[in-house]
Structure 1
Amino acid sequence: MAKEPAAGAPAEAAAPGRERRPRFETLSGIEVKRCYGPEDVPGAAAARRLGVPGQWPSTRGIHDTMYRGRLWTMRQFAGFGTAEQTNRRFKYLLREGQTGLSVAFDFPTLLGYDSDHPMSEGEVGKLGVAVDTLADMEVLFDGIPLDQVSTSMTINGPAAMIFAMYLAAAEKQGVPFDRLRGTIQNDILKEYIAQNTYIFPPRPSMRIITDIFAFCADHVPQWNTVSISGYHIREAGSTAVQELAFTLANGFEYVRAGIEAGLDVDRFAPRLSFFFNVHNDFFEEIAKLRAARRIWAVEMRERFGAKDPRSWKMRFHCQTAGCTLTAQQPEINIVRVTLQALAAVLGGAQSLHTNSFDEALALPTEKAVRIALRTQQIIAEESGVTSTVDPLGGSYFVEWLTDEMERRARDYFRRIDELGGVIPAIEAGFFQKEIADASYRYQQQVESGEITVVGVNKYVLEEEEQPEILRVPDEVQQRQVQRLRDIRRTRDNRRVSQALRDLKAAARSGENLMPRLLECARAYATLGEMCDTLREVFGEYRDRAIF
């Protein structure tokens, strides 16, 4: 008969049984032991790092009541075709119980080109909504009171121009700026690192961002001025550790830039927000989010000297991982999304988007997006996980993994500092190479079968049914170009020319650009006209190849 382990003995003392493989590890390559116990999170220091919900260092959540007081914002990302089509989708989602809007823009808009630019051919409205002028923004939010809904806009290079159009649309509705709530992504550093929808070089881009910080502090106090995004870093192929480290390093760089621009840290830091990817490794994702909150709280108070507790509290939106969705057996993506969404909730997200099961094939249909939204609603209303705050807090494994994620992130911070900071590291290709190497290793593991992707390299079907998919017709571009021509013909072109001249002068002088961009938007200057004016002053960024 096997001898029972002594009471209180470490869990590892039990005689080992047979295991399925010689090593278990997270997707970041962190080795996972068979069992965890108090010896893995020892001492009073662990209790201090853990803390209590709503108090520094926020490991357990930024609010003392969390979802007992208020559920996260259910914010489904949406946008395709024309402003009219996307407006209809917004209204559909709001009727179905969505509690916040999130705008997806097409590639020409993301890159600062008008719909009739040669570079826009074939891309108008395909992967998001086309927005050329204030007229499009007015239609996009027609019948949606902007003082009653929180709006997120995922755009970076031309974020200031799109934000100016949104402000002008609010004026048209009679909504004061101080009543507006929402977020402009505006995270240009991750564009150089991962997504590549940049326009201007890093330093003038950072100047535009700090202009937005200052303008919103004075005029749009409830607006989140930047959403520091790990999502796209992860979608480019990074590990969870890299996403954590690179995202926070970018956040610290924005704080430094604001301080160097002469702003008090507590004037702008409370309106910084974050955006994380939630991938398949359930506990690693939860630990990542908990570690991110703690690192931010510690650094904001101890390194940057923030005194306002709001500056210490990391608020973040999560989106389930688009890169995990499979075209094979697409319906099983519903299961992946459910697990990822649950990890986001257990990790303490303030806002959440759940991907639709058909997104590996096309933009989501109404049926698919409704199922994605219902996934959040079932977690919120039926699962019971919202009844207590940080229900996994104190788990030996979760606390050990949270500590390990923080330790590895801080190792990356040291390497970035040794390179001279974020911008020199971007210019040296450090981030890009780290992500490319991680992506290559992951793909090798999938192809070798070391990592299982159900329906792709295991449990494969010989014949698959394809669901109906949403197709954006080519006529969308023709309609959008005609609308743009009509605006150019009917607007006050002398007013537009003067507004663009004033914008160029402000760019050269160092004046805050937001008032000038707002005047351009009010005059119905196009996105391309505003971006081209600043291209003449700031130039365009050209990435260097990394091998």
Structure 2
Amino acid sequence: YTPQDAPPPAEPPGVAPYVRGTQPLGHTEGGWLLCQEYAGPDVAATADALRDDLERGTQGVWLLLDAPLGLDVKDEATLERLLAHVPLDRTPVHLEPTSDVLRPASLLLEVLAKKAGAAKQSLRGSLGIDPIAALARHGAAKVDVARTLAEAAPLVTSLLKDAPGLRALLVSSRPWADAGATSVHELAWSIATGVEYLRELERSGVSPGEAARSMQFALSVGGQFFPEIAKLRAARLLWSKVVAASGGAPQAQAMALHARTASATKTRRDPWVNILRGTAESFAAVVAGADSVSTSPFDEPLGTPDELGRRLARNTQLILRDESSLNRVADPAGGSYYLEQLTGEFARAAWTELQRIEALGGISKALAQGDVARVLTETRTARDKAVRTRKLPIVGVSEFPHLHEAPVQ
């Protein structure tokens, strides 16, 4: 790869279209946010885990809600017990519900008002209103995207005024990534979700610029190191183009990007290899300039992670930051002819898929028509065949399996 393949970008970091990150100095001022995810049935145990992790280096909290896979937060008192040890005035709290996307937001606002007092300007995080993710999981019979966003519009407006650090809307790629989507489809469908939110909120009187500043994106990072770096960089580029075309100012074009290590790349057999997978995926997320990163514990596929799994996940990022010094370079990927070309290829491929989804009427209609399910089925079938024929090796499973492996307790 040479300058003729991909000349370096003209824009420095912190300038639209934000391919090189949304901050002029990248991670060199304070680093990225070390954000840990929590789920499981036991609220009391999770509250203790939150306290321990925040004392040992965790900076942000990401809560997966709704049983059976997530935390069952039924009322304000339950959420208050869960966050009892969390200093809400300096710890970003993010919600990711899987079904009722409005109620957890109201519960968190009530808890924040009670515990944080009047210091609303210092609050940070996201309320997790993501009806399209719920639609992907539960179907059109249970989720009305347009009505949900119409009800959320007043909250979007009020938060922008009173608590700009709290983003009302979430665009999570978890449903696509966990279902086996390719990186291009995950990227395109996430941008399509953001487009639909812009469109529906504008119908409720919220300008595209205001709506864009109310969105938190959360993308999964898979096992292909360089392509995943390019995917995150292309996500910022595409979102900037979408918001600009919608009339949003350059400041509104900056994507708030959370990156999580993918669930679909982790194994139950030989789970210790998940430590290596999580390290490579976290490294890719940081190099790509994600604002916050969650590293999944190695034992997550086996059930609720224990203290060892959480500690190793947390320390993975602490080592990347404090020993590998990844926070000392503003834009590690910038100017690499290979990565610049790969970013452009991802952006063009995802834009083509976005146009196809828009031609169907948007991501909600594509889901309702079964188009997304069809594409995912084809992708999973091809991947399963590649695994069975050993064209796609999985260390510890299809390659180098330990047949007498002792189970993790």
Q: Is the 8 A contact 1:157 1:197 kept in 2?
A: no
Name 2:177's counterpart in structure 1.
234
Name 1:40's counterpart in structure 2.
5
Which of residues 259, 262, 266 is equivalent to 2:205?
A: 262
Q: Is the 8 A contact 2:88 2:116 kept in 1?
A: no
Q: Is the 8 A contact 2:41 2:71 kept in 1?
A: yes
Aligned partner of residue 242 in structure 2, secondary structure: helix
Aligned partner of residue 160 in structure 2, secondary structure: helix
Aligned partner of residue 103 in structure 1, secondary structure: strand
Q: State the alpha-carbon separation in 2 of the partners of residues 283 and 198 from structure 1.
A: 39
Structure 1 residues 174 and 289, CA gap change in structure 2 (3 angstroms): closer
Structure 1 residues 389 and 194, CA gap change in structure 2 (3 angstroms): farther
Q: State the alpha-carbon separation in 2 of the partners of residues 336 and 197 from structure 1.
A: 35
Structure 1 residues 426 and 434, CA gap change in structure 2 (3 angstroms): same
Given residue 162 of structure 1, which amino acid in structure 2 is its aligned partner?
P
Does residue 94 of the first structure (1) align with residue 54 of the second (2)? yes
CA RMSD of aligned residues (A): 1.9
Which of residues 309, 312, 329 is equivalent to 2:253?
A: 312
Structure 1 residues 214 and 157, CA gap change in structure 2 (3 angstroms): farther
Aligned partner of residue 226 in structure 1, secondary structure: strand
Q: State the alpha-carbon separation in 1 of the partners of residues 407 and 185 from structure 2.
A: 35
Q: Is the 8 A contact 2:33 2:293 kept in 1?
A: yes
Given residue 76 of structure 2, which amino acid in structure 1 is its aligned partner?
L
Structure 1 residues 81 and 198, CA gap change in structure 2 (3 angstroms): farther
Does residue 428 of the first structure (1) align with residue 369 of the second (2)? yes
Name the count of aligned residue pairs. 408
Write the deviation string for residues 252-282 of structure 1: whole angstroms up to 9, x where unpaired. 1111112121122333322212101000000
Given residue 214 of structure 1, which amino acid in structure 2 is its aligned partner?
T
Which 5+ residue runs of structure 1 have no aligned equivalent? 1-35, 108-122, 469-547
Write the deviation string for residues 48-99 of structure 1: whole angstroms up to 9, x where unpaired. x552111111111111111111211111111333432221111011011100
Q: Is the 8 A contact 1:50 1:60 kept in 2?
A: no
Structure 1 residues 197 and 467, CA gap change in structure 2 (3 angstroms): farther
Name 1:410's counterpart in structure 2.
351
Q: CA deviation at 1:420?
A: 2.1
Name 2:93's counterpart in structure 1.
151
Which of residues 338, 359, 365 is equivalent to 1:397?
A: 338
Write the deviation string for residues 335-380 of structure 1: whole angstroms up to 9, x where unpaired. 0100000000011111111011111211100011100000000001
Which of residues 379, 391, 396 is equivalent to 1:438?
A: 379
Q: CA deviation at 1:198?
A: 8.6
Q: CA deviation at 1:195?
A: 7.0
Which of residues 29, 34, 38 is equivalent to 1:78?
A: 38
Whichever of the two has the greater Rg, that structure is 1
Q: State the alpha-carbon separation in 2 of the partners of residues 102 and 294 from structure 1.
A: 25
Given residue 197 of structure 2, which amino acid in structure 1 is its aligned partner?
Y
Q: Is the 8 A contact 2:63 2:95 kept in 1?
A: yes
Which of residues 275, 279, 286 is equivalent to 1:334?
A: 275
Write the deviation string for residues 2-29 of structure 1: whole angstroms up to 9, x where unpaired. xxxxxxxxxxxxxxxxxxxxxxxxxxxx
Name 1:252's counterpart in structure 2.
195
Given residue 39 of structure 1, which amino acid in structure 2 is its aligned partner?
Q
Which of residues 142, 149, 154 is equivalent to 1:206?
A: 149
User: Which segments of structure 1 move beyond 4 Å, counting only runs of 4 or more?
Assistant: 194-198
Q: CA deviation at 1:248?
A: 0.4
Which 5+ residue runs of structure 2 have no aligned equivalent? none
Write the deviation string for residues 434-467 of structure 1: whole angstroms up to 9, x where unpaired. 1221122111111111111111111111210111
Write the deviation string for residues 388-416 of structure 1: whole angstroms up to 9, x where unpaired. 12222222211111111011111112211
Which of residues 249, 268, 274 is equivalent to 2:217?
A: 274
